[in-house]
Homo-oligomer: A and B are copies of this chain.
Amino acid sequence: MQVITDTIAISSQGFTDIIDVTAKVEAAIHNSGIQSGTVTIFVSGSTAGVTTIEYEPGLLKDLPEAFEKIAPKNARYHHDATWHDGNGFSHVRAAMLGCSLTVPFKSQHLLLGTWQQIVIIDFDNRPRNREIVLQIIGA
């Protein structure tokens, strides 16, 4: 049994930009040499989250529209009244989606469905470069 910590770099446009990181996570598992275990994909920050979707153009519009209903960009947030950075909606969306996803793998293959990709959703209100943490545990 081993623990390997790795990171992957992403660039996003913010505003609920959805980034497919599946290939980068697979590469990290390959590099780790670990055959079977779990990888925890973790966003070190409070304005982005992680989940899985079928990464296709329709859902890349549907999902931001759904988040716009839950925490509208132009509503009033107490966070913005204090900090004036205008990203209260980003914080609320990220807290609801969650910053951590644990995916099992076996024989170095992620046990995802055929039409299921791992995505980072960046809710911030500006372009961001981020380092996503991967914690790989297994044998």
Q: Could you tell me which A residues sit within 8 Å of B by CB distance? A: 1-3, 5, 36-38, 40, 42-46, 51-54, 56-59, 61-63, 66, 69-71, 77-83, 88, 91-92, 94-104, 106, 111-113, 115-116, 133, 135, 137-139
With both beta carbons as reference points, the residue of chain B lying nearest to A4 in the complex is identified as: B36
Flag if B46 contacts A5 (CB, 8 Å): no
**How many chain copies does the complex carry?**
3
Flag if A99 contacts B54 (CB, 8 Å): no
Flag if B137 contacts A51 (CB, 8 Å): no
Flag if B38 contacts A135 (CB, 8 Å): yes
In the assembled complex, the Cα of A56 lies from the Cα of B36 at a distance in Å of 36
Flag if A139 contacts B103 (CB, 8 Å): no
In the complex, which of the residues B62, B70, B78, B96 contacts A61, with contact meaning CB atoms closer than 8 Å? B78
Contacts of A51 in B (CB 8 A): 95-96, 98-99
In the complex, which of the residues B42, B59, B103, B137 contacts A91, with contact meaning CB atoms closer than 8 Å? B59
Flag if A91 contacts B46 (CB, 8 Å): no
Q: Chain B's nearest CB lies how many Å from the CB of A101?
A: 6
Contacts of A104 in B (CB 8 A): 5, 40, 42, 133, 135
Q: Chain B's nearest CB lies how many Å from the CB of A113?
A: 4
